[in-house]
Amino acid sequence: MISYKEDSLFKNKNIYSCLVNPKEDLKNKNFGLRTPTIEINKEEIINLIKEKYGDFNKGFLHFIKNLESYLGIRYTSVYKTKYRYLQLLKRNKANIVFLRIISLSLTNNIEESNELFRSLIIKDNYIKINNLKLPVSNFNKIIAYLTGVIVGDGHLDKRANYILIVDGQSDKKKLLFSKKYLQSINNLFYKEFNIKGIIVKRKTWWYYLISNKWLTRYFNHYFEIPFGKKSDIVKFQKILSGSNENYFWRGLMDTDGFISDKNKNICLKSSSLKILKQFGKFCIKNNIKYDTKKEIRGWSFRIFSGSILKYAKSVGAFHPRKKGALIKHLKKGPTYKILKEINKQFNPEIIKIFKYLRPYKSMVYIKLNEYNKKAHKQEITKLINSIKDNFNVKITKIKRNRYNDHYYICSKQFTEFIKKNATYELPWQPLNKEDINNLSKEWIL
């Protein structure tokens, strides 16, 4: 019999290495108190034992001796130990480590033992530990979303005893949405894992606490959410890539993200540049325009207003407060037009200038930066001089208490020229009630 130090299941990511930490859990005879008891089919195990050993009691006693070899321990009485495990078996339950011993004892090689072990503990893609159900593969959209939530405003206890999720708001009326949101989170945990937590209020925050050692280890093991402090090292896990990736980002944005209900400001702040770069790749893949900026503490990630509709379709919102703000912006539509096409052949330099011009009534506004970022002084001077040289127009400057000053060309003739030779349109159209309802249905988990 191999020892647990030689067990190949501890060398890769699987449900056994998820639930059993050999350094902490297998250090003495009390391993049974630190490892989970699994729901099983006792008749299946009894039949396998009789088939291998002929006599059930003889085979079961052999398991106890192999357990000693596997753990490197010696029981005072193997018969008393055998009795304890038999009592569990009668209730269709068994310790996960003991089930590993059974799989190793009944087969001829490691590959066969691994296959038998999986068949003993996993039923319909789930492993059952009392009321808790843990999916072992094919992680769905709910798991992807909850992972994003925990990565955002969640926390795994450093001793792996509980999962904590918080949501707050200084406005008392808006704080009601935090309670409603955490009630929805509780329903998702129950729906997927058959377990519920508790929700409590502390001043301007609502706290959701779910106490379960195995579920805490589960999110740490499969999705690499650290125990304890995590803000600067969290990242998106490739195991959630594919059709469920957008649900992870929705969970993250519903918790750590911000959607203003006053202006079209959607942003995410994080100490982890890694996760912002991963979100950036997702946005590029879905044609969502954004920018990142270094701040005093961490980094900020901002979705541009021209991409709000694409953001709503690709990410969306489940949090009732943020969902309401997003719907408000979708109904109102974008504020600024963008260059769609140029209707006449011009030289490359003039074509480049058209990107910065916005005709409005009898004047042309100069948009210094395509996405409302601060423009460098040298870039402004170069652009202004290029417009003057190519179009021979007068440019007026108005100082503003913003990133950039205001520049415009007050000329009806030039405005008509721009309108005639270029088409400027809104990047997307406001959504009607039916469109909003259809989109909202897609955000339901």
Instruction: Note the pLDDT of residue 199.
Output: 97
Q: How far are the Cα atoms of 246, 283, 390 from residue 303, in angstroms, in the given order?
A: 15, 9, 33
Nearest alpha carbon to residue 218 among 117, 143, 123: 143
Structure tokens given for 361: 């009534």
Supply φ then ψ for residue 261, to 5 degrees: -90, 0
Structure tokens given for 145: 């979303």
Instruction: Note the pLDDT of residue 25.
Output: 94
Enter the DSSP assignment of 133.
E
Structure tokens given for 5: 């130090």
Contact between 177 and 315 under an 8 Å Cβ cutoff? The reply is: no
The tens digit of pLDDT for each residue in 128-186 reads 999 999 999 999 999 999 999 999 999 999 999 999 999 999 999 999 999 999 999 99
Percentage of the chain lying above the pLDDT 90 cut = 84
The tens digit of pLDDT for each residue in 282-314 reads 999 999 999 998 988 889 999 999 999 999 999
Between vectors from CA 333 to CA 329 and to CA 335, what angle results, nearest 5°?
105
Structure tokens given for 231: 């803000």
Residue 371 confidence (pLDDT) above 60: no
Strands (E), 142-193: 154-156, 162-168
Q: Which domains does the chain have, with CATH numbers?
A: 4-134 (no CATH), 141-329 (3.10.28.10), 338-425 (no CATH)
Residues 6+ apart with CB under 8 A from 54: none
The tens digit of pLDDT for each residue in 372-417 reads 566 788 888 999 999 999 999 999 998 877 778 889 999 999 999 9
Strand 93-95 to 132-135 pairing: unpaired
Which amino acid would we find at residue 367?
Answer: K
Instruction: Note the pLDDT of residue 372.
Output: 55
Tell how far CA 323 is from the center of its chain.
17
Residue 249 confidence (pLDDT) above 70: yes
Contact between 5 and 22 under an 8 Å Cβ cutoff? The reply is: yes
The tens digit of pLDDT for each residue in 332-363 reads 999 888 899 998 889 999 999 998 999 988 99
- Prediction pTM value: 0.92
